Amino acid sequence: MPLQTWGAEFTPELWDKTPHLKRFERRFFPNDYVYQPESRVFAEWVTNGGHVVAFAVGELAILGSKRVGYITRTAVAKAHRGKGMNKQLVIALVNRFKYAGVHNVMTYTVVSNVTSLNSLLGCGFKPYWPTSEWAGPGVVYLRYKLC
Ligand SMILES: CC(C)(COP(=O)(O)OP(=O)(O)OC[C@H]1O[C@@H](n2cnc3c(N)ncnc32)[C@H](O)[C@@H]1OP(=O)(O)O)[C@@H](O)C(=O)NCCC(=O)NCCS
Distance 40 CA to ligand 1 centre (A): 26
Q: Residues 45-57: pLDDT tens digits?
A: 999 999 999 999 9
The residue among 87, 98, 16, 10 whose CA lies nearest residue 46 is 87
Mean pLDDT, residues 23-27 taken together: 94
Topology of the domain comprising 3-145:
Aminopeptidase (3.40.630)
Enumerate residues lining ligand 1, CB below 6 A. Answer: 28, 73-76, 81-87, 109, 113-116, 118-119, 122
The letter for the amino acid at 68 is V
In this prediction, residue 147 carries a pLDDT of 86
CB atoms within 10 A of CB 5: 13
Per-residue confidence band for 107, with pLDDT thresholds at 50, 70 and 90: very high
Give 104 Cα–ligand 1 centroid separation in angstroms. Answer: 22
How does pLDDT run across 80-101, given as a tens digit for each residue? 999 999 999 999 999 999 999 9
* Ligand 1 pocket test, candidate residues 118, 121, 141, most atoms within 8 A of CB: 118
- Ranges of each domain in the chain: 3-145
- How far apart CA 140 and CA 111 sit, in angstroms, is 6
This prediction has a pTM of 0.96
pLDDT at 1 (0 to 100): 77
Which residue has the CA at smallest separation from atom 19 of ligand 1? Answer: 115
